Each structure stands twice: as structure tokens, then as C-alpha cells.
């Protein structure tokens, strides 16, 4: 157990609630582009999967690489939209995408549950003059996760 147990529990609980809800959505709902970034629900879920993957790598690298870590910030300069387009989430099999999203996040939870607490102040350089600690990365992940679920919720309604 560590200081991030409540974050991990909340994400796990959200996965349990959201998986059946996502599986129940019809094709028109998941593919229609309606949010302010012109992303469909499939693309938002793909972005969330990319986020889980990138954050998993950050958590791992920040525990053994020299600090400050030079690690690409996939979300800056429109790169997250490139990731969405290159991976073509719009045409990904919906059930596979949901599984990928779920299991990428369950793996992130597992990694965070085993994080070396002595490394929490290690930082990565997210922008030219911005440094983010391992602790801050972990804490902020829940906010980011919930932000995108709220976008999906708006598109469902």
C-alpha cells in the first residue's frame, strides 16, 4: 500500500462503472464527432489509452533514469492528435479498444501500486521550463482520466 491507493481505487472503480456503459453504446454514438476538439468517443478513448501507456512509461523511467528525465511529451504541439490519427482509433474495433483502455489502466494501477516511494521527487521535463515530479504525474492522472470521461459523458447525452 502507498499514498496513491485512493487514486488507484477510484480509477479501478471508474473502469468497473464505465466498461459496461461503453460497451452498450451504438456505432453512431461512438463515431459521431461532436466535442470541441472534433474527437469522437472512440478517439477520446484512444487518447485515454495513449495517456495510460505514456504515463506508465514515465512512472517506470522516473524510477531508474537520471532526474531530470528527458522524455517526450506526447500531448504538446498537437502530438496527441497525431497519435490518434496515426493509430486510426476512429476505425478500431470498439470492443478491442475498450479492452485496451481497461487493461492499460489496470496495468498503470499495478505499476503505481508498486512505485518506489523514494523516487517520487524525480522529475521529467515536460516543456522547456516546466518540470513535473513523479508524484505530480501520478496525482494528476486521475484528474486527466476524469476530464475525458466527462467529455464522453457529454457526448452520450
Dump pLDDT digits (tens) for 36-73: 888 999 999 999 999 999 999 999 999 999 999 887 77
Residue 35: CATH number of its domain = 1.20.120.450
Task: Supply the range of the domain harboring residue 66.
Answer: 5-156
Confidence band of 32 (pLDDT split at 50, 70, 90): confident
- pTM of this prediction? 0.93
pLDDT for residue 23? 98
Q: For the chain, what is the domain count?
A: 1
Which residue stretches of the chain are H helix? 5-23, 27-31, 41-61, 79-87, 94-113, 134-156
Rounded CA separation 128/135 (Å):
20
Regarding predicted confidence, which is higher, 120 or 73? 120
Amino acid at each position: 500500500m502507498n499514498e496513491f491507493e485512493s487514486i488507484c481505487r477510484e480509477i479501478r472503480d471508474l473502469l468497473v462503472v464505465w466498461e459496461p456503459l461503453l460497451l452498450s453504446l451504438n456505432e453512431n454514438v461512438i463515431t459521431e464527432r461532436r466535442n470541441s476538439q472534433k474527437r469522437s468517443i472512440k478517439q477520446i478513448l484512444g487518447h485515454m489509452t495513449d495517456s495510460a501507456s505514456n504515463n506508465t512509461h514515465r512512472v517506470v523511467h522516473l524510477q531508474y533514469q537520471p532526474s531530470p528525465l528527458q522524455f517526450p511529451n506526447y500531448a504538446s504541439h498537437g502530438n496527441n492528435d497525431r497519435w490518434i490519427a496515426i493509430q486510426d482509433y476512429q476505425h478500431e474495433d470498439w470492443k478491442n479498444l475498450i479492452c485496451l483502455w481497461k487493461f492499460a489502466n489496470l496495468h498503470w494501477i499495478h505499476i503505481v501500486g508498486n512505485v518506489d516511494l523514494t523516487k517520487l521527487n524525480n522529475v521529467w521535463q515536460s516543456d522547456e521550463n516546466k518540470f513535473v515530479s513523479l508524484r505530480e504525474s501520478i496525482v494528476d492522472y486521475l484528474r486527466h482520466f476524469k476530464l475525458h470521461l466527462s467529455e464522453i459523458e457529454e457526448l452520450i447525452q
